[in-house]
Amino acid sequence: MRVVDSHLHLWDPAVLTYDWLEGALDAAFTEIELIEDQIQDAEEEVAIFVQAGTVAGDYLAEVRWVDSIALSTGVVAIVAGARLDSGAEIEEHLEALAEHERVVGVRHLLQGEADGFARTAEFTAGARAVASRGWTFDACVSARQIPDVTALAAAVPDLRIVLDHLGKPAVGTDDAPLRPSAEWLRDIADLAQHPQVHVKLSGLPAEAGGHWDADQVRPFLDAVLTAFGEDRVMWGSDWPVSAIDFTAPDGGAFIEGGRDDWCRTVADWAADRGLDVDKVLWSNALAFYGIR
């Protein structure tokens, strides 16, 4: 099988500044660690790097650093960090990003912003600037903020948006699983009415704290499939965040093979549902990000 990891993080606290890393995540995750956690049985494997939460002053430095290790990590495209609410400065920042050929989109991490932030005039103006370049926007929100993404899609209909991590629904754990909530199902269905919006099948292992199984997550995968169809979903690992057991002592522990387990879970689910597995694991991501 061919695999595009549509949501790969890489970081090195010795190179760039991050103010959120702690526990097992407060370590280097670069080409050495990634090589040890490759997808088994993948005939071809490439990745989309998604900005990893550096401080804003390091957004450009992060792009330069990822560019320097892109060949050794299989990174074919970069979703860079950007503050879309920065007014006139956003155009200057986007222009600087455009000097790097691998940049295909941006992410302003919304999950840490106040509810309604993506509806503000300042943010909407930045989103229009991104859309004018033909770039994409990764929307990483908490489940309650999904309606904000829907409002953004309505306000900027030419902005291609991908919802990270299925909108981060509450999934429980393998020994205490939760069913999809009525609110999340409603909000996902509303978002799917906007044809420029796609969804990443990523992040659920992290939402489960590292304790999950296939039966637990399938109802959530089924729900986004029903809403978006097989052409608007794409697999992503959310590595290394989704490869951590957050209940282990001392801030968690890395789960060897966790990335492959998540890929296999989604691939098996797609096959069982009669989907084109190559679309889910490969071509949908390439098409969304405009990679040839």
pLDDT in tens, the chain (292 residues): 999 999 999 999 999 999 999 999 999 999 999 999 999 999 999 999 999 999 999 999 999 999 999 999 999 999 999 999 999 999 999 999 999 999 999 999 999 999 999 999 999 999 999 999 999 999 999 999 999 999 999 999 999 999 999 999 999 999 999 999 999 999 999 999 999 999 999 999 999 999 999 999 999 999 999 999 999 999 999 999 999 999 999 889 999 999 999 999 999 999 999 999 999 999 999 999 999 8
pTM given for the model: 0.98
Write the CB contacts of 68 (distance below 8 Å, at least 6 apart in sequence). Answer: none
Maximum alpha-carbon separation in the chain: 50
Phi, psi dihedrals of residue 257, rounded to the nearest 5°: 80, 5
Residue among 263, 275, 230 at smallest CA distance from 5: 263
Residue 111: Cβ within 10 Å count: 13
What CATH architecture applies to the domain 2-288?
Alpha-Beta Barrel (3.20)
* 120-125, Cβ contacts within 8 angstroms, sequence gap of 24 or more: 120/85, 122/84, 122/85, 122/86, 122/87, 123/84, 123/85, 123/152, 124/152, 124/155, 124/156, 125/84, 125/87, 125/90
Residue 45: Cβ within 10 Å count: 16
Quote the distance between the C-alpha of residue 2 and its chain's center: 19
pLDDT of residue 251: 87
Cis preceding-peptide flag for 240 (omega within 30 of 0): yes
Decide if 128 contacts 161 (C-beta within 8 A): no
pLDDT of residue 292: 85
Domain ranges for the chain: 2-288
Torsion sign over Cα 180, 184, 190, 193? negative
DSSP class of residue 167 equals: G
Q: Give the β-pairing of 253-254 and 244-245.
A: antiparallel
pLDDT of residue 9: 98
Phi, psi dihedrals of residue 258, rounded to the nearest 5°: -65, -35
pLDDT of residue 250: 85
Residue among 151, 105, 148, 112 at smallest CA distance from 129: 105
Residue 224: Cβ within 10 Å count: 25
